[in-house]
Structure 1
Amino acid sequence: GIPVTRIAQEESQRLLHMEDALHKRVIGQHEAIDTISKAVRRARAGLKDPKRPIGSFIFLGPTGVGKTELAKALAEFMFGSEDSLIKIDMSEFMERHNVSRLVGAPPGYVGFEEGGQLTEAVRRKSYSVVLLDEIEKAHPEVFNILLQILEDGHLTDAKGRRVDFRNTVIIMTSNVGAKSLLKDTSLGFKPVNTDLSQETQAQYERMKDKVLEQLKTQFRPEFLNRVDSFVVFRSLSVEEIRHIVELLLQRVRNQLKTQEIGLEVTAEAKDHLIKLGYDVDYGARPLRRVIQNLVEDPLAEALLLGTFTAGQTVIVDRSGDTGLSIEPLAEKTPVEA
């Protein structure tokens, strides 16, 4: 019984504040999120080519800066759930004989009944975000398939069924140019620098030009010509790493909340986690490992030993020069009125 106009208005408001919603999950990367948001708004407003997908993007930049995370956040924002993300790892299609698995094996071959890995997933879930991870590893034949999807918005599978890609967002990630970025220390992780002004912007533009130049040598012109946007991700600053630590710790808090246990982490403990997990070459991923080793593993052991019980709050603090201490928060004695 909800009026259609109200749904349309709510959808319009959501789209106008799309950047804010995506920034809740993806730290930094303003240019990337702006580009994606504009493409989605254009499509929803009816201004896109009706034959083509909602948008097609190549995400570029260093490893561990949020390329895959943005694809997941977009799937959740647009279609309500991360389950609407169809992720295909292109390292599985490095050899020519594997390429047919995308559209299905031809009649008479093993696997004909199963359908294609890409076509079957999109046929069952036509409103989705298709993530083709590490596209540079794919065999050149894969790009012939992608040309048709990007230009015509459909693909015919091995059974002759036409699969519609017009309601999908195609995202391809690539680490092309990442190695050359690491050689240039000014383009990697930077020390604490709150001034994100002209110098930082100039560094980003240099990095962008370098990556796009390598992209042109790696992929064929007719493929690049059909992609809507090339989105180059920035390296993460220390301040952004601090936000990511908070996001990762919030996940631990949510998991402990199901057992009715609270979690507090002191500023000193967070600084220690950042110091250990802040890596020039690997982006934010080492942080996850550091939090797993220093916070989650001791917590798991303590929970199994029964050290913490429901209703308690656990405090994580800096302990000595080397590690962290995890102890129950001392309960305050209630003051009678």
Structure 2
Amino acid sequence: MMKNILVFLFLGSSGIGKTELAKQIARYMHKDVKKGFIRMDMSEFQEKHEVAKFIGSPPGYVGHEDGGHLTKQLRQCPNALVLFDEVDKAHPDVLTIMLQLFDEGRLTDGKGKTIECKDAIFIMTSNVASDEIAQHALQLRREAQEQSRRRLAENLDDVQKSESVTISSTFKEEMIRPILKAHFRRDEFLGRINEIVYFLPFCHSELILLVTKELNYWAKKAKQRHNITLLWDGAVLELLAGGYNLHYGARSIKHEVERRVVNQLAAVYEQELLPKGCTLRLTVDGGPQEKDEALTLRLEVMGEDSTSQKLDIRPPLNTEDMSYAH
């Protein structure tokens, strides 16, 4: 009989969307996402004795009646999407249990009861080899840009417009697999994985989308809470996208928007510089030759006659203290 069980390993830097993609797949598959999505933070299972938390304590031990974190939820929804977040942090004994799960599609809990879950989907995430993956992807993008520039010089109709790159099977086998083997120390564990999915650093167009999403979030809050309309142009998006950090992914964009935009919004609100129902425009101060660090974001109040007035804001206070941001 064929097994339906699917096992994926998502590799890539922190904040790149591994967990988010798993959530979206669960949302697509299950009407009741609360039951259909099981997330296990594997940093909670770093010690040998924590195996009991995973599948439940044997009879006679403390917590026996509670059951295990995983087994309890799998019993409720045997075809759930199970996310093992940061699987590289799990104790080897936990990996042994996962091996049985991936191999047989069943799991025996601390009470000796077997849970059949052959229709479940298992996704593991890991930051192992994330630096190697990121650097390789950046190198591929640089080569693609150089190739595109050469094509542009030769033939305007043959320009590569896509920022997507493909990681070669040679790189996966010669660079990544040895790192995974050295970390997990067992071929049979890696052998149970149906597919390894590589998450590359965000390209420029993706960063612009991330910044836009963050600004839209705060613009919506400004409109709902204070009837303030927030506008910006492409130069603002470019500047904020420059705050991207490979190691923190989308979180670095979120932080950059909060640091450079939300702090100012909080300050102008606190200092009562905003007319009710006004329109605010974000602009970039500094010439085109300036580096990102030398450029600053300024807030302007737009008048009904399309004139604008730059706001003179005292140094921004801590966002956490602001009623605007909460």
Q: How does 1:144-155 map to 2 (within 5 A)?
A: 144-155=96-107
Conservation of the 8 A alpha-carbon contact between 2:85 and 2:126: yes
Secondary structure at 1:318 match in 2: strand
Flag the structure with larger Rg. Answer: 2
CA distance in 2, matches of 1:57, 1:106: 30
Letter in 2 for 1:60: L
CA offset at residue 139 of structure 1? 0.9
Return the offset for 1:315: 2.5
Q: Which residue does the alignment assign to 2:206?
A: 240
Rounded to whole Å, the distance in 2 between the matches of 1:204 and 1:264 is 42
SS at match of 2:43: helix
1:323 equivalent among 286, 296, 302: 296
SS at match of 1:132: strand
Secondary structure of the structure 2 residue equivalent to 1:234: coil
Residue identity opposite 1:236 in structure 2: F
Counterpart AA for 1:224: L
Q: Which residue of 211, 228, 234 corresponds with 2:176?
A: 211
CA change 1:315–1:186 in 2 (3 A) is closer
Identity across matched positions, percent: 34
Please name the residue that 1:137 is paired with. 89
- State the TM-score, normalizing by the size of structure 2: 0.73
In structure 1, how many angstroms separate the alpha carbons of the residues matched to 2:273 and 2:37? 39
Question: What is aligned with 1:64?
Answer: 15
Gaps of 5+ in 2: 149-159, 287-293, 307-326
Deviation at 1:64, TM superposition (A): 3.1
SS of alignment partner, residue 236 of structure 1: coil
Question: 1:156 and 2:108 equivalent?
Answer: yes
Letter in 1 for 2:110: A
Tell me what 1:75 maps to.
26
Say whether 1:99 aligns with 2:51.
yes
Work out whether residues 188 and 280 of structure 1, in 8 Å CA contact, stay in contact via their aligned partners in 2. no
**1:265 is matched with which residue?**
232
- State whether structure 2 residue 80 is matched by structure 1 residue 128: yes
Instruction: Confirm or deny: 8 A CA contact 1:181 1:188 kept in the other structure.
Output: no
Residues 104-163 of structure 1: CA distance to partner in whole angstroms, max 9, x if unpaired?
A: 122232222322111122233445321111111111111221122212222122234433
What TM-score, normalized to structure 1? 0.71
Specify whether residues 216 and 193 from structure 1 end up closer, same or farther in structure 2 by C-alpha distance, changes over 3 A only: same
Contact 1:182 1:188 in 2 (8 A): no
Q: Deviations over 1:149-208 (max 9, x none)?
A: 212222122234433433432110112222444666954885994946999746655543
| CA-CA distance at 1:101 after TM superposition | 0.6
Q: Choose the corresponding residue for 2:241, options 266, 270, 274.
A: 274
Cα 1:314–1:184 change in 2 (3 A) is: same
CA contact (8 A) 2:134 2:201 kept: no
Instruction: Tell me: CA distance 1:138–1:318, structure 2 relative to 1, closer, same or farther (3 Å).
Output: same
Please tell me whether the aligned partners of residues 262 and 313 of structure 1 are also in contact (alpha carbons under 8 angstroms): yes
For 1:264, give the aligned amino acid: L
**Distance 1:264-1:212 versus aligned 2 partners, 3 A rule:** farther
Distance 1:327 1:168, change over 3 A: farther
Q: 2:282 aligns to what SS in structure 1? A: strand
SS at match of 1:215: helix
CA shift in 2, pair 1:255/1:184, >3 Å: same
Measured on the aligned residues, the alpha-carbon RMSD in Å equals 3.4
Residue 90 in structure 1 maps to residue 57 in structure 2: no
Comparing 90-99 and 317-326, the one that deviates more: 317-326
Letter in 2 for 1:290: E
Aligned to 2:261: 295
Matches within 5 A, 1:25-36: none
Paired letter, 2:210:
I
Q: Is this contact kept in 2: 1:191–1:237, CA < 8 A? A: no
2:55–2:71 Cα contact (<8 Å) kept? yes
Secondary structure of the residue aligned to 2:262 is: helix
* Stretches of structure 1 lacking an aligned partner (at least 5 in a row): 1-47
CA contact (8 A) 1:58 1:174 kept: yes
Greater CA drift, 141-150 or 83-92: 83-92
